[in-house]
Amino acid sequence: MDIWIERFITYLRAERHYSEQTVAVYEPTLCGFAAFVNHDETENIDWSFVSRDDVREWIASQMEQHKAAATVNKQLSALRSFYKYLLMCKAVESDPTRTLKGPKKEKKLPYFVREKEMDNLFDKIAFADDYEGHRDRLILLIFYSTGIRLSELVGLNVSSVNFHSATIKVLGKRNKERIVPFGTELKEALEAYLPLREQQHQAVDNPALFLGVKVPRITKEAVSEIVKRNLSQVTTLRKRSPHVLRHTFATAMLNNGAEIEVVKQLLGHESIATTEIYTHTTFEELKKAYQQAHPRAEKE
């Protein structure tokens, strides 16, 4: 092993107290880079002669090996840390990684449930005609009708619901409040649920809209289980979480003509860039439909 890599690894362990898991990433990365720039000879590397182009070519070689962008960026981060160490030790005068950018990570499109499957959930699945049945259906309907987050749903109080204006007051991230409108179906579900809620012994002096079993307020874990159990009846998606229903709400809104700025406000996003991922989702659906339907579309 190159002497400077060996010293750097010792430095990480002894002075920076890096975990063995991290060291296990740094050591082979640096040895691999040394072999790349020195034509498979890892001894006696003159690190001051390594150029920006050498690093760029190394990055390209990693991508050609079909490594994920996240993996290559971690490797580049290890190399950056190594050159900071070399600069600190005055072993080099410049850092060839300083102005280089790693490969862009691919944006994963969000999972969402198709509208037909959501229709099946609310129109064809038989929920029990008791407190739990009405509660479970209402939880699913609130997620799909408003796009609120799991933590926001758990935090809802009975007073959060305004039947006169057909809105729900939501306490979002960083304690920012927003008002989310709802439609007739959700209004009717709330009206059917509230009398049943009042009959529960946990409801006495309890402001929570959804009651817990041993605690005043329903837990995030309980809500997640309700969502997972019921979505499994209508979709084969691997992910079946409350956040998937938030994605489903946003995708359905955009597919049915809502402006992206409106969806941004309803979701409580700080930036329009966060909301734009749903436009990618709807465009992918559009492309898929085109390729399936158009007689001259390219077939794989």
Residues 289 and 240 in one domain: yes
Residues 124 and 83 in one domain: no
Asked whether residue 110 is assigned to any structural domain, the reply reads no
Give me the catalytic one of 149, 197, 247, 264: 149
CATH number for the domain spanning 159: value is: 1.10.443.10
Residues 199 and 261 in one domain: yes
Give me the catalytic one of 173, 176, 280, 287: 173
Residues 147 and 206 in one domain: yes
Residues 161 and 275 in one domain: yes
Residues 181 and 260 in one domain: yes
Active site residue 173: yes
pLDDT reported for residue 189: 97
Q: Give me the domain span that covers residue 256.
A: 115-293
SS3 167: strand
Active site residue 269: yes
Backbone angles phi, psi at 268, to 5 degrees: 80, 30
Residues 146 and 238 in one domain: yes
Work out how many domains the chain is built from and give that number: 2
Encode pLDDT of 61-96 as tens digits: 999 998 888 899 999 999 999 999 999 999 999 999
For the question of whether the overall pTM of this predicted structure is more than 0.75, the answer is no
Residues 164 and 282 in one domain: yes
Mean pLDDT of 176-186: 94
Distance separating alpha carbons of residues 89 and 47, to the nearest angstrom:
12
CATH number for the domain spanning 20: value is: 1.10.150.130
Active site residue 278: yes
- Across the chain, mean pLDDT equals 90
Asked whether residue 46 is assigned to any structural domain, the reply reads yes
Encode pLDDT of 151-180 as tens digits: 999 999 999 999 999 999 999 887 889 999
Closest CA to 230 of 246, 220, 241: 241
Give me the catalytic one of 134, 217, 246, 264: 246
Residues 148 and 73 in one domain: no
